Amino acid sequence: MKYTLLGEPLPVVICDVEPGETLITEGGAMSWMSPNMKMETTSGGGFGKMLGRMFAGDSLFLNRYTAQRGPGQIAFASSFPGSIRAIEIEPGREVIAQKASFLAAEEGVNLDIFFQKKMGAGLFGGEGFIMQKLSGKGTAFIEIDGHAVEYVLQAGQSMIVDTGYLAMMDATCSIEVVTVQGGAKNMLFGGEGLFNTVVSGPGKVVLQTMPVYKVAGAIMPYIPVSRD
């Protein structure tokens, strides 16, 4: 497979696939394709996998697109202004991503739910109790809300991240949720919420500049309220 990323901040990934090559994606992600791309809807691993995708914010079923009778082309556009990142997944190089961020992948990539080991991280870390884990082998495409900023943390290094800005991290990284420092005054009047997420290395961390909930909060005061 060859691919081209175009169009930020309204990006699309255009994939040129070989005969017989298959891409998987969640329902509704396909934007356009050549006529010889055959679609097949599957459970993607049975009821357990379906239930996990539902909790992670994805559709219950996965679609498989296979090029038949020659090379094919298929495109997947982002659902929100931002970035699309191509991630090379391989054994020992798994990735943890925010829920609902999976766009598409080669057939060899496995999509599973990832439960935070610490209850606090799930309840207050900004991404909910469930995130996504990508494993296996192949190229995966992930949606990032806004612009993506990367950091590589060494063992023992950590970074404090405000709620919702963590887009993706290597599975070798860990998450811990801590209260905002400085006492009750900072927590109540600092405008940064009650908790922060501490991400620790080793591994790569990808942050996003425009979480969806921040955008929703910014436009909410300008939405007319019905008087009926």
Which pLDDT does position 59 carry in this prediction? 61
Predicted confidence at residue 190, as pLDDT, reads 45
* Per-residue pLDDT of the chain in tens (228 residues, 90 and over written 9): 999 999 989 999 999 999 999 999 988 889 999 999 999 998 665 545 555 555 555 566 789 999 999 999 999 999 899 999 999 999 999 999 988 889 999 999 998 888 765 555 455 544 445 788 999 999 999 999 999 999 999 999 999 998 789 999 999 999 887 776 554 444 444 445 567 788 999 999 999 999 888 888 889 888 887 665
Report yes or no on 36 lying in a domain. yes
Whole-model pTM: value is 0.82
Print the domain residue range for 81: 2-221
Per-residue pLDDT, 99: 80
Spell out a b/e string for 60-82, using b for 16 or more CB atoms within 10 Å of the CB, else e.
bebbebbbeeeebebbbbbebeb
Number of separate domains in the chain: 1
Three-class HEC string of the chain = CEEEEECCCCCEEEEEECCCCEEEEECCCEEEECCCEEEEEECCCCHHHHHHHHHCCCCCCEEEEEECCCCEEEEEECCCCEEEEEEEEECCECEEECCCCEEEEECCEEEEEEECCCHHHHHHCCCCCEEEEEEECEEEEEEEECCEEEEEECECCEEEECCCCEEEEECCCEEEEEECCCCHHHHHHCCCCCEEEEEEECEEEEEECCCHHHHHHHHHHHCCCCCC
Residue 228 lies in a domain: no
Q: What is the pLDDT of residue 225?
A: 75
Residue 227 domain-assigned (yes or no)? no
What CATH number is attached to the domain comprising 96? 3.60.160.10
226 occurs within a structural domain: no
